[in-house]
Amino acid sequence: MMFLTVGTQFPFDRLVRAIDVLAGKGVFCEELYAQIGDSTYKPRHFEAVASLDKHDFDHHFKDASAIIGHAGMGTITMALDNNKPLLAMPRLKRYGEVVNDHQVALAKKFEALGHIVVARDESELEAKMEQLRSFSPRPREAEPEAVAGRIRLFLEQISEVR
């Protein structure tokens, strides 16, 4: 089973609709289940609910062979923590899906690190689904020295301003 999750703060009809179109074309070789939030689009080719309680959400997430979702930090982190391949499509401000385009930067960074597969828009989803089938996320490694260095640099910069 693949699990589609789009978060619960904002609708993400663009992704839900695009995945439904692909499901209708038979792109998915296995069952697809989704948590779609307050989406106004109701999928016809897979089962979806507006929200799940934490226990059910965690169960579906952990049982899934792969995750499809928005490029939110919570979804990315949970996929990495559970070693799940994630196909993420960033929400975009121009469509009213978020208040700014921070998910574009998150997606770009985590893709560059080999942690996720990214579809920048609906036109890339089908090809990225093919990539997801054989994708194995690179494990995240703690780098406390690098974090400390960035904090030190930040503190030095703000002390210069004063």
- Per-residue confidence in pLDDT tens, the chain, 162 aa: 999 999 877 889 999 999 999 999 999 889 999 999 999 999 999 999 999 999 999 999 999 999 999 999 999 999 999 999 999 999 999 998 989 999 999 999 999 999 999 999 999 999 999 999 999 999 888 788 888 898 999 999 988 866
Nearest to 88 by CA among 96, 79, 97: 79
pTM, full prediction: 0.87
- pLDDT for 29 equals 82
Task: Return contacts of 105-108, CB within 8 angstroms, 24+ apart.
Answer: 106/71, 106/72, 106/73, 106/76, 107/71
